[in-house]
Amino acid sequence: MKLCFGGDKLTLVGYSNSYMVGDIDSKKSTSGYLIKFVAGAMAWQSRLQRCVTLSTTEAEFIAITKACKELLWLKKFLQELGFVLEKYPLFVDSQSVIHLGKNPTFHSRSKHIDVRYHWIRCVATATCGDLVILSDHGSVNLVSDESMWIVDSGATLHVTPWKEFFTSYTSGDFGVLKMGNDGVSKVIGVGDVFLQTNMGMQLLLRGVKHAPDVCFNLISV
């Protein structure tokens, strides 16, 4: 057995995500990140956050902070080995975090994440570093088109029209969903869904709503 190096371009890329209230008992969210060097996973982590967050944006900022710290450490480590790259992108799936990072004005609901917000803004600017935080909806999409899941910051719940996706399922009358076109869709079941991403990772979505009249599989962020 031996290592085989191909001709791929040298890249150090990070992916960050969070799951709001991932632990039912403690109400703490889960942070997760994956950092790849060229085509191989170099660092990864998935664990509960130390504090209880008040919003998905706050949970995402905590996850991004952990990913940024690890990515910057690996950047310095590779530079000591002689690998100097032009950019070090970190992909996230939260539009609210991206917009807040670009907007210098605080909203009243985001004042409590002031320090973490400023630190991320600092490392993402040219004066403090070459780390670039980007939005990546494709990082959590399934490979097959008919099974594609869309990360939607406007969705308040995880939703799918396909019963076949559920690994655990409870049928019943769970009310209706109001859609963007002012239509409604009846929710006839709730359960958990495992997703296999195009990065080879598995994601567990809890409390997914089964609404047959919805046109897309939606992940709430």
CATH fold label, 12-135: Nucleotidyltransferase; domain 5 (3.30.420)
The per-residue pLDDT for 28 is 86
Structure tokens at 135: 């939005």
DSSP reduced 3-state for 82? coil
DSSP reduced 3-state for 150? strand
C-alpha distances out from residue 200 to 9, 139, 177, 195, Å: 20, 10, 31, 10
The per-residue pLDDT for 107 is 57
pTM confidence score: 0.52
Residue 72 to residue 68: CA distance in whole angstroms: 6
Pick out the chain residues at pLDDT < 70.
1-8, 95-118, 121-148, 151-154, 179-182, 197-201, 221
The per-residue pLDDT for 208 is 93
Residue 33 to residue 21: CA distance in whole angstroms: 17
The per-residue pLDDT for 192 is 94
Of 90, 100, 42, whose CA–CA distance to 63 is shortest?
90
